[in-house]
Amino acid sequence: MAGELLFTRPYFEVLISKWNAMKNQMIIGLLMLSTSLLFANANDEVTGKVVTVIDGNTIEVATAENETYKILLHGIDCPELEQDYGDKAKRYLEKILLNKSVSVKIQGKDRLGNRLGVVILDGQGDPRHELLEEGLAWTSEKNPVEELEAIKEKARGKGKGLWKDENPTAPWIFRRLQTLTQFKSS
């Protein structure tokens, strides 16, 4: 008879209530942790040597701790290597950054999880500015940085680099077209 009293309906309701409260606290804790990690990563600074230039706006930086970070230059997008001016943008960035010590202020991540950063080269200008001035880059498709947009428009007005063409294909459009033309497997 005493055992029957332990498993009454009110007892189960109390257990379920406590479980729900604990579950909610765990969810809130996990959300707070993931949010703090997200913002911590967005404000990081990486220092090291540029060991690889992947394309006109993507580099790899090796740190003193033997970690390698893939960094996309924040606020610009260069032609893909298969596009006109893609290889030229890569070679120009190699000339500026390859084997040089840099600091990178991480600005966040793109939708694919790649780090976006502003590269600071000791005693030299911003490589994003140089790429834009030479007509080797667009500003970002979404939310372009005003300062960078002004530099791009100046190069466009002078007909520099890719702006020699009347209507060059932006890299994000090129990538979408490439995706559409790939064969789909079942």
pLDDT tens across 43-90, in order?
A: 599 999 999 999 999 999 999 999 999 999 999 999 999 999 999 999
- Whether the per-residue pLDDT at 14 is higher than 70: the answer is no
The pLDDT-based confidence of 40 (bands split at 50, 70, 90) is: very low
Residue 5 Cα distances to 9, 12, 18, 24, angstroms: 9, 11, 19, 29
**Residue 171 gets which letter from DSSP?**
H
- Whether the per-residue pLDDT at 39 is higher than 80: the answer is no
Instruction: Return d(Cα 52, Cα 167) in angstroms, integer.
Output: 31
Q: What kind and span of H or E run contains 94?
A: helix 86-97
45-177 maps to CATH 2.40.50.90: yes
The domain spans of the chain are: 45-177
| Structure confidence by residue, pLDDT tens digits, 164-173 | 998 999 999 9
pTM exceeding the 0.85 threshold for the entire prediction:
no
The pLDDT-based confidence of 4 (bands split at 50, 70, 90) is: low
Average pLDDT rounded to a whole number, residues 6-28: 65
| Structure confidence by residue, pLDDT tens digits, 100-148 | 999 999 999 988 899 999 999 877 779 999 999 999 999 999 889 999 9
